[in-house]
Amino acid sequence: MAEGEPEGIRRKLVETKQAWAREGRLLTGQTAGHEQRLPPGQRLVKDFPVLDLGIQPEIGTAAFRLTVDGLVENPVTLDWAWLSELPQEQRVNDIHCVTQWSRYDNQWGGVPVTALLDLARLKPGARFVSFEAHDGYTTNLTLEDFARPENLLAHSWEGQPLTRQHGGPLRVVVPHLYLWKSTKWVRRITFMAKNQPGFWEVRGYHDRGDPWLEERYG
């Protein structure tokens, strides 16, 4: 990363989003059931905005490695060939960013999280999941939120390889929570007995992030 400018932009973005959390910005005070497709306070977009910390690491599939460790019987570091041999599925879902945009009907392709869990074989004490990415980003989920059948480790979007801007070659997609829970450029998934709040969670964002409950800040 170049000195000066990108670091300044990143600091500004982090400060702005932290201020939103302090001020409770964008909160409508409403909650909604899932029969309402658009969660409260969200607006629909047709494009696909890019949101991250301003560092978009270039990871080719040749250099790709994903480590799965922590409370598992079978800790593994997957390379691209191994990942490609795991079950592959397509999922279509809506995504919701805490900065208020939602996008309907995204078609993802990748490895279902359930297939990863079958491979890693959790130990009984595993209750939380921690994610690390190549840009230094981290986030956390409960095992229950991670193990859902719609969740993917996605390497394609709309039938094309996932672009670097959107987290390619591999990102997590957890569509029932705000999109900050969906780690781009994922490089490590660790199963834990305790919760470990991530980058935004320690900066005023909610630990879980359910869009229908408007769990933006916490």
Q: Which residues bind ligand MTE (CB under 6 A)?
A: 49-53, 97, 133, 135, 137, 166-167, 179-180, 182-185
Residue closer to ligand MTE, measured from CB, 128 or 157: 157
207 and 145 in contact (C-beta within 8 Å)?
A: no
- We find the least distance from the C-beta atom of residue 81 to Mo ion, in angstroms, to be 32
Task: Tell me which stretch binds Mo ion (CB under 5 A): 30-38, 91-99, 110-118, 141-149.
Answer: 91-99
Q: Is 14 a residue that touches Mo ion (CB under 5 A)?
A: no
Stretch that binds Mo ion, among 109-117, 147-155, 156-164, 174-182 (CB under 5 A): 174-182
CA distance 110 to 159: 11
Q: Which is nearer to Mo ion, 157 or 191 (CB)?
A: 157
Answer whether 94's CB lies under 8 Å from 105's CB.
yes
| Cα–Cα distance measured from residue 80 to residue 82, given in angstroms and rounded to the nearest whole number | 5
Asked whether the beta carbons of 178 and 97 are under 8 A apart, the reply is yes
CA dist 213 and 91 (Å) reads 24
> From CA 151, how far away is CA 174, in angstroms rounded?
5
Sign of CA dihedral 97, 139, 7, 135: negative
Considering the complex, what minimum distance in angstroms separates the CB of residue 34 from Mo ion? Answer: 21
Residue 150 CA from chain centroid, whole number: 13
Which one of Mo ion, ligand MTE, none interacts with residue 50, CB within 5 to 8 A by kind?
A: ligand MTE
Give the nearest distance from C-beta 106 to ligand MTE in angstroms: 9
- Output the smallest distance, CB 69 to Mo ion, in A: 26
- In the complex, least distance from residue 48 CB atom to ligand MTE, rounded to whole angstroms: 6
Residue 42 structure tokens: 């969200």
* b/e map 127-152, b = 16+ CB within 10 Å: ebbbbbbbbebbbbbeeebbeeebbb
Of 9 and 193, the one with the shorter C-beta distance to Mo ion is 9
Of the candidates 128, 137, 180, 205, which one interacts with Mo ion according to CB under 5 A?
180
Report the nearest approach of ligand MTE to the CB of residue 152 (Å): 13
Residue 146 in the binding site for Mo ion (CB under 5 A): no
Which of Mo ion, ligand MTE, none does 157 bind, CB closer than 5 to 8 A by kind? none
Q: List interacting residues with Mo ion (CB under 5 A).
A: 51, 97-98, 180
